[in-house]
Structure 1
Amino acid sequence: MKTLKSIILGLALIIVCGVAKANVTNEGEYLTKNYAINTYVDAITRGKIQGFNDVIDQEAKFTMLRGKKVLSFTKGEIMESVKVNKNVEQQCTTSTTIVESNSDLAVVKVDMQFDGFVRSNYVTIANTGKGWKITNVYSVFK
């Protein structure tokens, strides 16, 4: 009887471990197009930065056109800016439009409508082999 209880307990333990391990994914599997763009919108408009670092490629470029002046930023500079604005929700209405999409690349326009102006972000995301990541963001203020 003691042996039977040990065998049943051992089988139960193996089943529990197998079920728990079933949810583990390979690196990049969660980095889909939708996840990348939704994480970007959450970080920029709502200050929710969880996962933001993961969806930005190490060599990503961020460019803003303000009037006739072009400002450029690195991933590190954008991460610092987003961390400063953590949990700060922008007072704007946000909409997204897919400009182009295929199996390797997507360009998504993210419009942020504030009182008196619109910030349009053209976000390029690419299939990097380790998931979809943001490689370029070009922002225009109107």
Structure 2
Amino acid sequence: MKTLKLIISGIALLIVCNTAKADIYEDGENLTRTYAINTYVDAVTRGKLQGLNDVVDQNAKFSLLSGKKILSYTRDQVFESLRLIKNIEEDCTTSTSIMESNNDIAVVKVDMQFDKFVRSNYVTIANTGKGWKITNVYSVFKQL
């Protein structure tokens, strides 16, 4: 009987948690600029991918300046590479600064400082009507 109560309690808790999570992003009401940037930073610096799918637009573009060559990646390619480093924390110091912001769009610079270089990510987020979503990320590396 005690085991049955424990199982029923566990199932009820699971249902409540899943229902609460489903309501959080209904119509993008809680997909704020801050949430989008924090989710992106958690993914690229700490390997925490939870919520990333919600904040990256389906048509997002990812570019990387490598020397004098620009490399472009799709959303799926970036997600696949992030899955490879899931739950791995980068050994860097991260800072963010708002470059431009209004009611419709914002550009946020995310600097990841490693021992010998800095990776600067210029992240564009837009108010899509379904919450704030990342639409473009442009990464540049600078040797120290």
- TM-score w.r.t. length of structure 1: 0.82
Among the aligned pairs, what percent are the same residue? 70
- Distance in 2, Cα, partners of 1:57 & 1:128: 9
The aligned amino acid for 1:53 is N
1:96 aligns with 2:60: no
Please show how residues 69-88 of structure 1 align to structure 2 within 5 Å: 69-88=69-88
Match of 2:47 in 1: 47
2:37 corresponds in structure 1 to 37
Question: CA shift at 1:29, angstroms?
Answer: 1.1
Q: Distance in 1 between matches of 2:83 and 2:53?
A: 11
Match of 2:105 in 1: 105
Instruction: Tell me the equivalent position of 1:135.
Output: 135
Root-mean-square deviation (CA, aligned residues, Å) is 1.5
Q: CA deviation at 1:105?
A: 0.1
**Runs (4+) of structure 1 moved beyond 3 Å?**
none
CA distance in 1 between counterparts of 2:90 and 2:23 reads 34
d(CA) in 1 for partners of 2:58 and 2:124? 14
Distance apart, 1:27 and its partner CA? 2.8
Greater Rg, structure 1 or structure 2? 1
TM-score of the aligned structures, taking structure 2 as reference length: 0.81
3-state SS in 2 of match to 1:48: coil
Report the CA distance between 1:30 and its aligned residue: 1.5
Q: Gaps spanning 5+ residues in structure 1: where?
A: 1-19
